[in-house]
């Protein structure tokens, strides 16, 4: 059987994705089930249609080509959700050197995303580009639906039973991870009090091509499906030894399950899932033993449980003067973003993560810090889809604090913190109640910055029933004209309760149009430039 035929099982959820006529879609994909014969076929499909592309970024983008790939921030299917790092309080614009004055740079293409404008997918020149993540994720969800279904339809020999269980576990983990990202990008945050009625995103787990139009399912149903998939994944992946961290495992499933329960405020369940992950052999790295240049976010780290997808921070947080393009001179990567001083200022001066996670740009005209949690261009660990052991401790500690089990929460978080300070500079937490919750959330920000957590965390904190938290976010706007860099003002995102629509990205217009009004987006308000400290 040819692999290209196997992949035909990975049907798109056409009523969610395509703008083609319904009849044409059904006709084109109606024969997709005919190509699967055995578990090996499904395992191959899982690799090709489930896991995100990884490997060295330099394989795909040379120094001379890199800027051209930022013609828009979503024109390459494998660059999933690069804008997740551009909307929260950890980021600032950065311009230095000789940046081009055209729109083929990330800073100018993400112009409306960084400024939380009504249509985020327009660049500085108001040219629209397509958010390909929506269609790509639904394609992968459809593939996982088909794999899970086909495992119930094919004959499985006794010697294939273990493989079949592993494939099911991986497919269910991936489907849950895809839904988690979709729900938190295109839906409102999970609110425990109203989840039974709050519209989230469409939910489709059937392999069938249905002649219906889709609408948003409730948050309760979408998150409930994640819990079901991840619970089953932990069972299917029990005892599985993967030969690579680029394929998921039971520890990753327990970790993501603990995260989902934390978002849902199922705190006892979040603690239980975290505890299960902690029994599976992973170990926190001791930064006190690190040498200059050592990285904790890398494949060989004892903290890395699972990863897939590219690492893009070297594009988002470029060096001050790096690389060149013939005829354009130096500095082609110096128009981008940097770590906000609000984030940098949140670290204690003795926190070892300051020198491990960040580097100060030596040639920059202003003080700025690049995020270098993973070595530049190594791209071993994704900046969004990795599952790392510190999250397990943070999930557990926050859940315990919300349960008011203060002593257990302090003990859990200090297991992590003790390895991030020299012994002489480490001070155990002595807080309790709401202050302890705040301290753990701050620790989460410092440990998991630029790993795809902060934007989602800010959303869920705002609707948390135990200790709600929200904040105003200000993004400086940098103007570059005639080789002169000036700060022209700032754009302001109000706290969630005052600005809800801006915390959700819009579903693409073609999906809205095709579903005949069953899907809709809230209107995001326009923002005007404000004076600094206004």
Q: Say whether both 160 and 222 belong to one domain.
A: yes
| pLDDT band at residue 10 using 50, 70 and 90 as cut-offs | very low
Number of folded domains in the chain?
A: 2
Q: Say whether both 228 and 348 belong to one domain.
A: no
For residue 431, list its beta bridge partners: none
- Domain contains 496: yes
| pLDDT band at residue 13 using 50, 70 and 90 as cut-offs | very low
Report the pLDDT value the prediction gives residue 377, as an integer from 0 to 100: 64
Q: Say whether both 122 and 158 belong to one domain.
A: no
Q: Once rounded to an integer, what is the mean pLDDT over residues 314-328? A: 63
Q: Say whether both 144 and 123 belong to one domain.
A: no
Q: Do residues 89 and 471 touch, judged by C-beta distance below 8 A?
A: yes
Report the pLDDT value the prediction gives residue 392, as an integer from 0 to 100: 99
Assess whether pLDDT exceeds 50 at residue 181. Answer: yes
Q: Say whether both 122 and 138 belong to one domain.
A: no
Report the pLDDT value the prediction gives residue 23, as an integer from 0 to 100: 30
* Residue 204 burial (CB count, 10 A): 20
More confident residue, 496 or 25: 496
Report the pLDDT value the prediction gives residue 527, as an integer from 0 to 100: 97
Q: Say whether both 327 and 351 belong to one domain.
A: yes
Q: Say whether both 184 and 42 belong to one domain.
A: yes
Q: Do residues 352 and 123 touch, judged by C-beta distance below 8 A?
A: no
DSSP state of 261: H
- Domain contains 415: no
Q: Do residues 277 and 233 touch, judged by C-beta distance below 8 A?
A: no
User: Model confidence over 64-85: pLDDT tens digits?
Assistant: 344 444 444 555 556 789 899 9
Assess whether pLDDT exceeds 80 at residue 21. Answer: no
- Domain contains 273: no
Report the pLDDT value the prediction gives residue 279, as an integer from 0 to 100: 98
Report the pLDDT value the prediction gives residue 426, as an integer from 0 to 100: 98
Indicate the residue among 196, 217, 240 that finishes a domain. 240
CA 355 to chain centroid, in Å, comes to 24
Angle at 187 between CA 447 and CA 317, to 5 degrees: 40
Report the pLDDT value the prediction gives residue 210, as an integer from 0 to 100: 66
Domain residues for the domain of 16 are 3-54+132-240
- Domain contains 497: yes
| pLDDT band at residue 376 using 50, 70 and 90 as cut-offs | low
Q: Do residues 470 and 461 touch, judged by C-beta distance below 8 A?
A: yes
Report the distance separating Cα 482 and Cα 57, nearest Å.
32
For residue 475, list its beta bridge partners: 491
Report the distance separating Cα 98 and Cα 483, nearest Å.
7
Neighbouring C-alpha atoms within 13 Å toward the C-beta of 494: 11
Q: Say whether both 142 and 235 belong to one domain.
A: yes
**Percent of the chain residues topping a pLDDT of 90:** 67
Q: Say whether both 150 and 119 belong to one domain.
A: no
Indicate the residue among 185, 209, 240 that finishes a domain. 240
Taking CB atoms within 8 Å and a gap of at least 24, the contacts of 327-333 are 328/98, 328/100, 329/98, 330/97, 330/98, 331/96, 331/97, 331/98, 331/99, 332/63, 332/66, 332/67, 332/99, 332/100, 333/66, 333/67
Report the distance separating Cα 451 and Cα 374, nearest Å.
11
- Domain contains 107: yes
Report the pLDDT value the prediction gives residue 107, as an integer from 0 to 100: 79
Q: From 432, 457, 508, 517, select the one nearest 87 (Cα to Cα).
A: 457
Report the distance separating Cα 245 and Cα 439, nearest Å.
31
Neighbouring C-alpha atoms within 13 Å toward the C-beta of 116: 27
DSSP state of 311: -
Report the pLDDT value the prediction gives residue 56, as an integer from 0 to 100: 38
- Domain contains 405: no
Domain harbouring 33, CATH code: 1.25.40.890
CA distances from 160 to 41, 152, 155, 172 (A): 12, 13, 10, 18
Q: Do residues 149 and 164 touch, judged by C-beta distance below 8 A?
A: no
User: Model confidence over 84-135: pLDDT tens digits?
Assistant: 999 999 999 988 755 545 444 677 788 899 999 999 998 888 888 778 899 9
User: Model confidence over 512-525: pLDDT tens digits?
Assistant: 988 888 999 999 99
Q: Do residues 212 and 514 touch, judged by C-beta distance below 8 A?
A: no
- Domain contains 287: no
Assess whether pLDDT exceeds 60 at residue 188. Answer: yes
């Amino acid at each position: 059987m040819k692999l290209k035929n196997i992949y035909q099982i990975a049907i798109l959820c056409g009523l969610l994705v395509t703008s083609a006529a319904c009849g044409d879609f059904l006709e084109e994909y109606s024969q997709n089930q005919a190509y699967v014969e055995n578990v090996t076929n499904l395992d191959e499909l899982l690799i090709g249609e489930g896991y995100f592309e990884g490997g060295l970024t330099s394989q795909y983008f040379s120094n001379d080509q890199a800027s051209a790939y930022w013609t828009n921030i979503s024109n390459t299917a494998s660059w999933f959700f690069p804008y997740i790092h551009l909307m929260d309080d950890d980021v600032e614009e950065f311009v230095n050197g000789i940046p081009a004055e055209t729109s083929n740079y990330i800073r100018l293409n993400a112009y409306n995303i960084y400024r939380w404008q009504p249509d985020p997918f327009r660049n500085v020149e108001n040219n629209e580009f397509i958010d390909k993540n929506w269609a790509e994720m639904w394609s992968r969800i459809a593939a996982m639906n088909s794999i899970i279904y086909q495992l119930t339809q094919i004959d499985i020999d006794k010697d294939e039973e273990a493989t079949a269980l592993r494939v099911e576990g991986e497919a269910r983990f991936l489907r849950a991870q895809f839904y988690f990202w979709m729900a938190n990008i295109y839906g409102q945050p999970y609110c425990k009090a109203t989840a039974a009625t709050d519209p989230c995103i469409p939910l489709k787990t059937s392999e069938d091509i249905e002649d219906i139009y889709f609408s948003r399912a409730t948050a309760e149903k979408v998150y409930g499906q994640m819990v079901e998939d991840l619970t089953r994944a932990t069972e299917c992946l029990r005892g599985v030894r993967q030969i690579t961290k680029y394929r998921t495992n039971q520890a990753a499933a327990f970790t993501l399950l603990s995260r989902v329960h934390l978002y849902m405020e199922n705190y006892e369940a979040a603690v239980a899932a975290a505890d299960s992950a902690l029994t599976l052999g992973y170990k926190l790295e001791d930064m006190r033993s690190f040498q200059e240049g050592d990285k904790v976010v890398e494949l060989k780290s004892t903290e890395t449980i699972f990863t897939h997808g590219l690492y893009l921070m070297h594009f988002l947080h470029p060096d001050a003067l790096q690389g060149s393009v013939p005829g354009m001179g130096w500095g082609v990567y110096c128009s981008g973003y940097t770590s906000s001083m609000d984030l940098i200022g949140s670290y204690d001066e003795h926190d070892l993560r300051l020198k491990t996670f960040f580097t100060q740009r030596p040639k920059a005209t202003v003080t700025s810090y690049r995020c270098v949690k993973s070595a530049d261009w190594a791209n071993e660990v994704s900046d969004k889809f990795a599952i790392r052991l510190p999250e397990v401790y943070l999930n557990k500690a926050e859940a315990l604090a919300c349960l008011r089990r203060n002593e257990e929460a302090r003990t859990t978080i200090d297991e992590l913190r003790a390895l991030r300070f020299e012994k002489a500079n480490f001070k155990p937490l002595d807080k309790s109640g709401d202050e302890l919750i705040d301290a753990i959330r701050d620790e989460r920000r410092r440990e998991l910055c630029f790993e795809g957590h902060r934007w989602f965390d800010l959303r869920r904190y705002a609707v948390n029933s135990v200790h709600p938290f929200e904040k105003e976010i200000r993004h400086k706007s940098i103007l570059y004209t005639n080789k002169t860099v000036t700060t022209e003002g700032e754009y302001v995102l109000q706290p969630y309760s005052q600005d809800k629509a801006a915390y959700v990205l819009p579903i693409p217009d073609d999906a809205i149009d095709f579903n005949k009004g069953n899907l809709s987006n809230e209107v995001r308000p326009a923002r005007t430039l404000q004076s600094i400290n206004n």
